Amino acid sequence: MTAPAKRSLLVTSALPYANGAPHLGHMLEYVLTDIWVRFQRMRGHDCLFIWASDAHGTPIMLKARQEGITPEQLIERVGAEQRRDFGEFDISYDNFHTTHSDENREVTYEIYRRLVAGGHIRRETIVQAYDQQARMFLPDRYVRGTCPRCGAIDQYGDSCEVCGATYTPADLLNAVSVVSGTAPVQKESEHLFFKLGDFEPMLRAWTGGDRLQSAVTAKLGEWFGAGLRDWDISRDEPYFGFEIPGETGKFFYVWLDAPIGYLSSLLQYCRRTGRDFEQYWKPDSDAEVYHFIGKDIVYFHTLFWPAVLAGAGYRPPTSVFAHGFLTVNGLKMSKSRGTLISARNWLDHLPAEYLRYYFASRLGDGVDDLDLNLDEFVAKVNSDIVGKLVNIASRCAGFIARGAAGKLASTLADASLQQEFAAAGERVAALYEGRDLAGAMREIMALTDRANLYIDQQKPWLMAKDPARAAEVQAVCTQGINLFRVLAVYLKPVMPKLAAGAEKFLGLPPQAWADAAMPLLGTAINAYEPLATRVDPAAVKALLAASSESLKPSGVPQAAATTGAAVAAKAAAKPAQDAVKAAAKPAEPAAAPAQLSIDDFMKVDLRVARIDSAERVEGADKLLRLGVDLGELGKRQIFAGIREAYEPAQLVGRLTVVVANLAPRKMRFGLSEGMVLAAGPGGQEIFVLAPDAGATPGMKVK
RNA sequence: GGUGAGGUAGCUCAGACGGUUAGAGCGAGGGAUUCAUAACCCCUAGGUCGGGAGUUCGAUUCUCCCCCUCACCA
């Protein structure tokens, strides 16, 4: 095997925003980055993991104000939480700085100076929402009001979450500042713009070929097609950030100085350690620079960021690796929905290392979202790590300790099997290198199965009954332990603690990748202590309980589905407050819904409703928008997939039955706040249920 | 709406530059075993590889259309 040439790598994760403690969505990225970094180091490369806390911007300024502390106090507190949680997740970063630092100011000013000198900055007066009471310009997200297109209330100033319309805060009806609660006015201000268009040829060249993931490349094609717009990099005071030199009352937009944190954190690290900063960022650098990011910030990292670097005379990144988002039990992580699990909460209940393994077993090179299914998590860790991997050491250790005085044999029982395991090393390494961690884990687990099978076939426990065969027992178990040793090395980037435990057990120094190729013979090993213990499902339960009052189910997939069978299946599959179990169970076939208790049934709040209005929905050929009156429960809007079966006029004034406590479902056309009951296969054959005469809106159906 | 990624065994997913009986892990069922943390080993999945059409000697793998899911839209 030829030793790969020593590479010099600089790796970053996206900078976590300093307005709150990390959650599992953050950890997905940091674990992915860390596994890759640890792998590179084990391969003998020089690999730095550098990042920082993203500390500027309006949200931090306002949050600090709300808590009655200074922004500096806030970011210091959050920064400490971040460091603590990252450390306990075994994120092996070399430096974690903050963007609110002298180094970052220094680098940001220098970059800005060069951009100005290069003619890449222009001025333009724009009109923006302004809060007269708070005396500040308002970011779009800080203005809320009624969507001008669909009429949904309480929408952000840039787009409507209900109908998807995009607009400016000035278009909102009844606009209100989130800061003061007063109506904002429109006010002019001069802003500085970074001329992104100057860099189009450079960006097209840089993003071309297969430098980036295919999904990202495709997206970039779309953006190029739409044309690159200049980028507003200034904000007016009050703002928490860096003042722009030569201007009064103007600050750099947080997104300009945030990625510069990649440089400034490295700068701080280099000054502390005596390393050469320029080596990484000079235009002709031999070093490789990689940014791991979430797919939501691809635009910043593949367009703005390389362009800013180029404009300031630095080299662009070698590549940018985007990943998808994390869902938990099929639900988006959301604070408001109570589905957010903090890193701290996880650490309080479960080992970080098990989550690292689960993430690795599910992560590929794509930008698809990843679901943390906790039932699967428990099964996977217990089976793969405890039942199979650690079991190899556990089942061999006793024989070595008892029958061989704790000493390994001096030759291998099956050298070709060892060779097979060693040869797999390059295959596994290639998968790690390409960030196909799931592929690497599959490969490792296949080897693990192979090792257990070997021991099973040799049956050392039978040999051990015959004292004359003691040497054979020792040889077989030495073989088993050597196979385990190889596996522990291959898994080390993912499970560093487990690997450290294995090293201690085997009496070895910290292992590098290449060490796996050389068998361990004739040495003494230490007494075996359990290297991993099973996950107790109760710990998962406690985790979820602590995370929130409940993991509430989100809306049903399609409010348009109105057949009776679908209603029954959904009611059975979604007992409120029990989404965890529901999500893990396979859906019952519609033809034979599971039995449910009367209590379950009573969870479905069925109500008589009067259809006050019905209209076709522009752009949806199956939906009708119904306005229904639920009596004491008030009036609701419901979208029903019955357009092919009913003319709107036929429905107005009719009574029907509605599921009143169905979680509201956001549809492209508006919010659907319930479900109308109907029977039939669909299309024109849909029959809306109706109560007999005498029923009134709001009556409970039971 | 635009764009992208997908729809393969109960679940999570591999895979096939088109070609004899479509795979793995988990789960489930059966068996074996007892060294090991009720672990491990063996056997069992009869799935129209989303639907339809086309190209072809032959498609689940290519093309087109449709349906559905998910994500992104500075």
Q: Which residue has the higher pLDDT, A25 or A92?
A: A92
Specify the nucleotide whose C1' lies closest to residue A534 (CA): B37
Distance between the alpha carbon (CA) of A438 and the C1' atom of B13, Å: 10
Distance of A510 CA from B52 C1′ (whole Å): 59
Q: Which residue has the higher pLDDT, A366 or A97?
A: A97
Residue with smallest Cα–C1' gap to B36: A395
Q: Tell me what percent of chain A is helix, strand and coil, each rounded to the nearest 5.
A: 45, 20, 35
pLDDT surpassing 60 at residue A57: yes
Amino acid at A355: L
Amino acid identity, residue A95?
Answer: N
Q: Mean per-residue pLDDT for A133-148?
A: 87
Nearest nucleotide to A164 (CA to C1') is B1
Q: How far apart are CA A155 and CA A429, in angstroms?
A: 48
User: Two tokens at A231?
Assistant: 């980028």
Q: Please indicate whether residue A394 or residue A213 has the higher confidence score (pLDDT).
A: A394
Taking the CA of residue A488 and the C1' sugar atom of nucleotide B45, their distance in angstroms comes to 32
CA of A184 to C1' of B23 (A): 62
The residues with which A52 forms a beta bridge, in sequence order, are: A97
- Strands of the sheet containing A288-294, edge to edge, are A95-98, A46-53, A8-13, A288-294, A319-323
Structure tokens, A309: 């670097």
Q: What is the pLDDT of residue A13?
A: 94
Q: Is the pLDDT of residue A249 over 70?
A: yes
> Tokens 């109560």 belong to which residue?
A691
CA pair distance A641, A469, nearest whole angstrom: 75
Task: Report pLDDT digits (tens) over A507-545.
Answer: 999 999 999 999 999 999 999 999 999 999 899 989 988
Grade residue A665 by pLDDT with cuts at 50, 70 and 90.
low
CA/C1' separation A297–B8 (Å): 32
Helix (H) or strand (E) holding A261: helix A254-273
Tell me what the mean pLDDT of segment A117-144 comes to. Answer: 91
pLDDT above 60 for A194: yes
Protein CA A264 to sugar C1' B63 (Å): 52
Protein-covered nucleotides on strand B (Cβ within 7 A): 1-5, 10-14, 24-27, 34-37, 39-42, 68-74
How many Å from the CA of A76 to C1' of B2?
Answer: 42
Q: Is A376 left (phi over 0), alpha (psi -120 to 50) or beta?
A: alpha
pLDDT of residue A592: 28
Which phi and psi (to 5°) does residue A666 adopt?
-80, 120
Q: How far is the CA of A586 from the C1' of B58 (A)?
A: 37
In sequence order, which residues have a C-beta less than 8 Å from that of residue A97 and are 6 or more positions away? A51, A52, A53, A103, A104, A261, A264, A265, A268, A269
Q: Determine what percent of chain A is predicted with pLDDT higher than 90.
A: 55
- Residues A574-596: what's their mean pLDDT? 28
User: CA-to-C1' distance for A177 and B16, Å?
Assistant: 57
Q: Which of residues A645 and A436 earns the better pLDDT score?
A: A436
Least confident of A393-407, A458-472, A493-507, A561-575: A561-575
Length of chain A: 702
Mean pLDDT, residues A258-287? 96
Structure tokens, A272: 């502390």
Q: Which nucleotide is nearest to A439 (CA to C1')?
A: B14
Residue A585 is predicted with a pLDDT of 23
Question: Is-contact A577 A550, C-beta < 8 A?
Answer: yes
Length A591 CA → B49 C1' (Å): 24
CA of A583 to C1' of B36 (A): 34
Residue A529, nucleotide of least CA–C1' distance = B37
The answer to whether residue A590 scores a pLDDT higher than 50 is no
pLDDT above 60: residue A209: yes
Measured CA A454 to C1' B20 distance, in angstroms? 32
Q: Quick check: A87 pLDDT over 90?
A: yes
Q: Which nucleotide's C1' atom has the smallest distance to the CA of A140?
A: B74
Dihedral, CA of residue A154, residue A156, residue A162 and residue A164, to nearest 10 = 160
Q: How far is CA A129 from CA A149, A158, A240, A253, A277, in A?
A: 20, 11, 18, 16, 42
Tokens of A435: 């960030």
pLDDT-based confidence at residue A583 (cuts at 50, 70, 90): very low
| Spatial separation of the C-alpha atoms in residues A109 and A194, rounded to whole Å | 14
> DSSP 3-state assignment of A661?
coil
Distance, in Å, from the CA atom of A189 to the CA atom of A444, rounded to the nearest integer, reads: 59
Reading the block at residue A247, the tokens are 């201007």
Task: Please give the pLDDT value at position A569.
Answer: 28
Residue (of A116, A57, A17, A86) closest to A242 by Cα position: A57
Task: Quote the pLDDT of residue A555.
Answer: 31
* Of the candidate ranges A175-184, A376-385, A550-559, the one whose mean pLDDT is the lowest: A550-559
Mark A593-621 as b/e (b = at least 16 C-beta within 10 Å): beebeeebeeebbbbbbbbebbeebeebe
Q: How far is the CA of A113 from the C1' of B6 (A)?
A: 46
How distant is C1' of B41 from CA of A673, in Å?
54
* A45 pLDDT above the threshold of 80: yes
- pLDDT at position A601 is 54
| pLDDT score of A129 more than 80 | yes
Q: Which nt sits closest to A450, CA to C1'?
A: B41
How far, in Å, CA of A316 to CA of A211, rounded?
12
Q: Quote the pLDDT of residue A339.
A: 72
Closest CA to A394 of A463, A487, A484: A484
- Residue predicted with more confidence, A294 or A102: A102
**Residues A458-479, mean pLDDT to the nearest whole number:** 94
Note the pTM of the prediction, 2 decimals: 0.79
Pairing type for strands A8-13 and A288-294 reads parallel
Q: Which nucleotide is nearest to A532 (CA to C1')?
A: B37
* Residue scoring higher pLDDT (A126 or A691): A126
* Nearest residue, CA→C1' of B32: A456
Q: Does the pLDDT of residue A376 top 90, yes or no?
A: no
Residue nearest the C1' of B27 (CA based):
A379
Please tell me which residue, A613 or A500, carries the higher pLDDT value: A500
Kindly tell me if the per-residue pLDDT of A2 is higher than 60.
no
Find out whether the peptide bond into A238 is cis, omega within 30 degrees of 0. Answer: yes
How high is the pLDDT of residue A645? 62
Q: What is the pLDDT of residues A625-641, one digit of tens each?
A: 777 777 666 677 777 76
pLDDT value at residue A257: 94
* Among A454, A470, A504, residue whose Cα is nearest residue A399: A470
C-alpha closest to that of A28 among A327, A476, A366 = A327
- A155-158: Cβ within 8 A, 24+ apart: A157/A129
- For A215-247, how does the pLDDT look when each residue is reduced to its tens digit (9 = 90+)? 888 888 878 887 888 999 999 999 999 999 999
Q: What is the rounded distance in angstroms from the CA atom of residue A47 to the CA atom of residue A58?
A: 34
- SS3 state at A108: helix
CA of A382 to C1' of B27 (A): 13
**Residue A236 pairs with which residues in a beta bridge?**
A250
For A164, which DSSP code?
A: -
Higher per-residue pLDDT: A267 or A670: A267
Residue A357 near residue A372, CB atoms below 8 Å: no
pLDDT in tens, A421-440: 999 999 899 999 989 898 89
Query: What pLDDT was estimated at residue A620?
Result: 54
Query: pLDDT averaged over chain A?
Result: 83
β-bridge mates for residue A659, sequence order: A606, A675
pLDDT at A253: 93
Looking at residue A4, its pLDDT comes to: 57
For residue A294, give the nucleotide whose C1' atom is nearest its CA: B72
Residue A316 has pLDDT above 90, yes or no: yes
Label the pairing between strands A670-672 and A665-667: antiparallel
Residue A579 has pLDDT above 60, yes or no: no
Closest amino acid to nucleotide B69 (CA–C1')? A557
Model confidence at A671, pLDDT cuts 50, 70, 90, reads: low
The answer to whether A688 and A650 have CB atoms below 8 angstroms apart is no
